[in-house]
Amino acid sequence: MENQELIKQVTERAQQWLTPAYDAETQAEVKRMLDNPDKTELIECFYRDLEFGTGGLRGIMGAGTNRMNIYVVGAATQGFANYLKKNFKDREQISVAIGYDCRNNSDLFAKKSADIFSANGIKVYLFDDMRPTPEMSFAIRYLGCQAGINLTASHNPREYNGYKAYWEDGAQVLAPHDKGIIDEVGKVKVQDIKFEGNPDLIEIIGAEIDKIYWDQVHTICIDPDVIKRQKDLSIVYTPLHGTGMNGIPQSLKLWGFENVHCVPEQMVKSGDFPTVVSPNPENAEALTLAIKLAKDIDADIVMASDPDADRVGMACKNDKGEWVLINGNQTCLLFLYYIITNRKKLGKMVGNEFVVKTIVTTEVIRQIAEKNNIEMRDCYTGFKWIAREIRLSEGVKQYIGGGEESYGFLAEDFVRDKDAVSACALLAEICAWAKDNGKTLYEVLMDIYLEYGFSKEYTVNVVKPGKSGAEEIQQMMVNLRENSPKELAGSKVTLVKDYKTLKQTDGNGNVSDMDMPDTSNVLQFYTEDNTKVSVRPSGTEPKIKFYMEVKGTLKSAADYVAADAAAAKKIEAVRASLGI
């Protein structure tokens, strides 16, 4: 039976959008939903306010309080402006940087936000066209801004858009500012939003920032000589219709790579992403055209960036000459292995370096760091936490790289978010170094497993859209806390970490405290055979994620296929234990 009380509530909320405060097009869309006998769409669009979380907004575009539109974005920007004016009240001129990606309405949302900030007396540096997320992060620091926003939904499907909020260090906001901004946004009514901008406070930026950013990216090159010897390395790159086309080919050229082939069909700016089902470099389907081109020209490497060019995906040839995808954990492994190995070899280590990974990322990284006497830090999922580690050690210790399993990596500290522009250039350098040593990227990966141990990682995304889905996800976490598994795939659970309570319980029931900067709705289970399972609801999508890592034995590169198959079988057993 339909929930009449819920329908009554959403109807009242929707009717408020039929007032003159909203434009005619929005009112017509809301009226259509109200008139529809099927109230499903009305409920989904109005059952709640789209949450301005600790990283900003992300949602499906359309009319309604639970959708991305100029009113929801406007309220977020007005609230952010109010918080900035409170926090920097003694500053003569507050300034912000604004970037956006290729998505439908990203430029509109960016320009509306620029108007709102400027109407509140805040100076705005607005990019003249779409730019990579990391360049926006760089611009905040370079221009001395107090904050910034980026209009993007990253790698989400085409119907989504998003709003990322950044602080003066160039990183996405953390406590106490995240909660402070959320409180201000929650107070804003539509009539409070100052939509009429002040053009005198809006400065358009572009090519001049590009050049400075690309030059800075070039400074992280570790071995320029190997690039000179391998400048003809055959590279295939795709931006998946997004911002990477405004940065990555140019950066590769600056590093000295002269044989870069961009996928022509995907060098077309489009928020409809016409050549892919989803613009996510984690998905094999998104790399189909790039791999086809790579086969046609016998390329050495395929690389792809997501629409806002913060994530990098890649493919290479295996020992049989077949093109295979490199997953996010392997990507992070390759980057950190190369950085540590070659900085040491070239005498570029001074002894105070550290690397960072997230708690759900492969533990093989820990083995690499420990064996090379490099400090390794674990942090929560999300690059704002990696940025926090950089900030805490600024001027004291040297950050040389950090990443997460979701295809994000950052090799520098002048940007404070994951950076596919620098990652693609560094990836090309790794391939050049491998080729210079008579190896492929695949063979380098095998070398890592043989020296530091083999593991296989697999993530299961359980998607639960809408209001009922959010409630199901919440209940799944409750059930896992109240009925923790005692074994996984036949191996006893020896440690349970609950980041919501910051308590960990060993196999004998002993409870101890965990040292983390904040709480997070994450559970982790460790077993006797070194299996690790992490469970967390996504902060940006309607899904709950199960990250699984199982160990295996690899005695030679020739054993990889068998070891991988055995690990895959074990993962299936872990899934059965969890009922997913």
Exposed/middle/buried for residue 346 (C-beta within 10 Å: 0-12, 13-18, 19+): exposed
In three-state secondary structure terms, 552 is strand
Determine how many CB atoms are found less than 10 A away from the CB of residue 348.
13
> 352: pLDDT confidence band, cut at 50, 70 and 90?
very high
- Structure-derived torsion over alpha carbons of residues 134, 137, 141, 146, reported in degrees to the nearest 10: 180
pLDDT tens for each residue of 111-136: 999 999 999 999 999 999 999 999 99
Rg (CA), the chain: 24
Class of domain 48-205 as given by CATH: alpha beta
| Chain CA centroid to CA 338, Å | 22
**Close Cβ partners of 480 (under 8 Å, ≥ 6 residues apart):** 523, 535
Catalytic residue status for 556: no
Strand 147-151 and strand 160-167: pairing? antiparallel
What one-character-per-residue DSSP string does 186-252 give? Answer: HH--GGG---S--GGGEEEE-HHHHHHHHHHHHTT-S-HHHHHHTTT--EEEE-TTSGGGGTHHHHH
What is the Cα–Cα distance from 164 to 106, expressed in whole angstroms?
A: 12
Query: 233-245 pLDDT, tens per residue?
Result: 999 999 999 999 9
In 359-483, beta strands by DSSP E: 375-379, 398-404, 408-410, 454-463
List pLDDT tens digits, range 238-264.
999 999 999 999 999 999 999 999 999
Q: Is the predicted pLDDT of residue 477 greater than 80, yes or no?
A: yes
- What's the rounded mean pLDDT across residues 450-472? 91
Q: What is the mean pLDDT of residues 207-231?
A: 98
Q: Which CATH architecture has domain 454-578?
A: 2-Layer Sandwich (3.30)
pLDDT, averaged across the chain: 96
- pLDDT tier at 2 (50, 70, 90 boundaries)? low
Mean pLDDT for 457-485 is 90
pLDDT higher than threshold 80 for residue 467: no
| Number of neighbouring beta carbons within 10 Å of residue 459 | 17
Res. 577: pLDDT tops 60 = yes
Over residues 83-103, the pLDDT tens digits come to: 999 999 999 999 999 999 999
- Spatial neighbors of 522 by CB under 8 A, at least 6 apart, are 359, 360, 380, 381, 497, 498, 499, 500, 534, 535, 536
Other CB atoms within 10 A of residue 264 CB: 10
DSSP letters spanning 319-343: TTS-EEEE-HHHHHHHHHHHHHHHH
Burial tier of 558 (Cβ tally within 10 Å: 0-12, 13-18, 19+)? exposed
Q: What is the pLDDT of residues 490-527, one digit of tens each?
A: 999 999 999 999 999 999 999 999 999 999 999 999 99
pLDDT at residue 471, rounded to an integer: 87
What pLDDT is attached to residue 1?
35
Count of Cβ atoms closer than 10 Å to residue 391 Cβ: 16
What is the Cβ-side half-sphere exposure of residue 451, based on CA atoms within 13 angstroms?
18
3-state secondary structure of 512: strand
CA–CA dist 350, 77 (Å, integer): 43
Is the pLDDT reported for residue 54 higher than 80?
Answer: no
* CA separation, residue 44 to residues 33, 40, 47, 63, 466 (Å): 11, 6, 6, 11, 6
Q: What are phi and psi of 23, to 5 degrees?
A: -70, 165
Handedness of CA 412, 133, 460, 314 (dihedral sign): negative
Q: How many CA atoms lie less than 13 Å away from 211 in the CB half-sphere?
A: 3
Question: How do residues 380-404 score in pLDDT, each as one tens digit?
Answer: 998 999 999 999 999 999 999 999 9
Place of tokens 């639960």: 464
Q: Helix (H, G, I), strand (E, B), or coil: what is residue 166? A: strand
52 falls in which pLDDT band (50, 70, 90)? confident
Long-range contacts at 345-351 (CB < 8 A, ≥ 24 apart): 346/222, 346/223, 348/222, 350/398
52 or 28: which leads in pLDDT: 28
Give residue 540's pLDDT.
Answer: 67
- 106, 154, 251, 422: which is the annotated catalytic residue? 154
Domain 213-452 architecture:
3-Layer(aba) Sandwich (3.40)
The residue assigned the tokens 């250039």 is 425
pLDDT in tens, 534-565: 999 987 678 999 999 999 999 999 999 999 99
Element at 473 (helix H, strand E)? helix 466-482
Checking if the pLDDT of 44 tops 50, the result is: yes
